[in-house]
């Protein structure tokens, strides 16, 4: 996920570099043109500013937070800071700011692998926009699964209509972890033509456990061998494919895995 942040930042930087010369040209013409053209130039400059700020938030603020959360000496202070930000937004009654604060905090915690802290933020989140709430309930279900709480995960998913590759992949993982491999495979269905890295990871994780649950352990082992960077993810929570992942880790002396 850290690499994904870098790639998104590079893409944003490329966009800015690509359109900046044209924007400067438009701005120069705006000095001698009519008000309508000047307004258009101002709108384009504003849009570039928004894109630049978003890149800053993604590349600088988020990365700094993740680095602090990964550092034992700074973790508690950063968690306290994230909590204060959410509490201030709650006191103001600004639900848009509160949603943003919760989202940014949860994303940083997930990237840093601080799953134990996620539930505090979920419990203080507004219902918010449907898309945001569905994402948050998916995260809540994943947090419950890591705690071995199948009922909690099911309740989180039941609070929203389970459809779309994100929630379906998490529900498939839930089914696979409880040993319902056939139901998990049915829930996964065919791979979507395009999907996000987070969904792709959850689908891979669910499929590995589902294959092991239905006795297709050789196929599961082949999928694990192709992604040794993610073997640790198969162990938490423990499921049908965990022993396979553990065996591969022992054979290879333990893989490196960046928190996902």
What per-residue confidence (pLDDT) applies to 68? 93
Q: What would the mean pLDDT of 92-100 be, rounded to a whole number?
A: 89
What per-residue confidence (pLDDT) applies to 259? 35
187/165 Cα distance (integer angstroms)? 10
Least confident of 19-23, 67-71, 99-103, 165-169: 19-23
What per-residue confidence (pLDDT) applies to 36? 54
**pLDDT tens, position by position, 212-253:** 999 999 999 999 999 988 898 999 889 999 999 999 887 654
**pLDDT tens, position by position, 9-57:** 444 444 444 444 444 444 445 444 555 545 555 555 454 454 445 555 5
Q: What would the mean pLDDT of 135-164 be, rounded to a whole number?
A: 93
Cα 184 to Cα 98, 138, 155, 197: the distances in Å are: 35, 16, 17, 20
The continuous run of DSSP H or E covering 245 comes out as helix 242-252
Cα 186 to Cα 71, 78, 176, 190, 207: the distances in Å are: 41, 41, 11, 9, 10
Least confident of 25-39, 60-74, 130-144, 193-207: 25-39
214/204 Cα distance (integer angstroms)? 16
Q: What would the mean pLDDT of 72-81 be, rounded to a whole number?
A: 96
Least confident of 22-36, 84-98, 186-200, 206-220: 22-36
Q: Using H for helix, E for strand and C for coil, what is the string for 149-218? A: CHHHHHHHHHCCCCCCHHHHHHHHHHHHHCCCHHHHHHHHCCCCCCCCHHHHHHHHHHHHHHHHHCCCHH
Q: Which of residues 2 and 69 earns the better pLDDT score?
A: 69
Average pLDDT, the chain: 80
pTM score, whole prediction: 0.71
């Amino acid at each position: 996920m850290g690499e994904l942040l870098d790639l998104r930042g590079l893409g944003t930087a490329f966009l800015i570099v690509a359109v900046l010369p044209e924007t400067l040209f438009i701005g120069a013409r705006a000095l001698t043109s009519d008000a309508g053209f000047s307004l258009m130039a101002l709108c384009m400059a504003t849009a570039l500013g928004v894109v630049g700020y978003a890149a800053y938030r993604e590349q600088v603020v988020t990365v700094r937070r993740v680095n602090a959360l990964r550092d034992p000496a700074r973790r508690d202070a950063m968690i306290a800071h994230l909590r204060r930000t959410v509490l201030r937004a709650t006191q103001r009654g600004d639900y848009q700011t509160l949603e943003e604060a919760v989202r940014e905090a949860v994303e940083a915690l997930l990237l840093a692998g601080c799953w134990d802290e996620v539930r505090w933020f979920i419990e203080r989140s507004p219902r918010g926009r449907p898309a945001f709430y569905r994402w948050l309930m998916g995260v809540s279900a994943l947090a419950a699964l890591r705690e071995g709480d199948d009922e909690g995960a099911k309740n989180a998913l039941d609070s929203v209509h389970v459809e779309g590759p994100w929630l379906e992949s998490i529900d498939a993982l839930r089914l696979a972890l409880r040993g319902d491999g056939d139901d998990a495979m049915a829930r996964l269905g065919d791979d979507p033509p395009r999907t996000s890295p987070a969904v792709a990871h959850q689908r891979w994780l669910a499929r590995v456990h589902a294959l092991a649950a239905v006795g297709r352990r050789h196929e599961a082992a082949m999928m694990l061998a192709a992604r040794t960077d993610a073997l640790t993810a198969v162990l938490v929570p423990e499921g049908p494919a965990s022993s396979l992942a553990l065996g591969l880790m022992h054979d290879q002396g333990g893989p490196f895995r960046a928190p996902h």
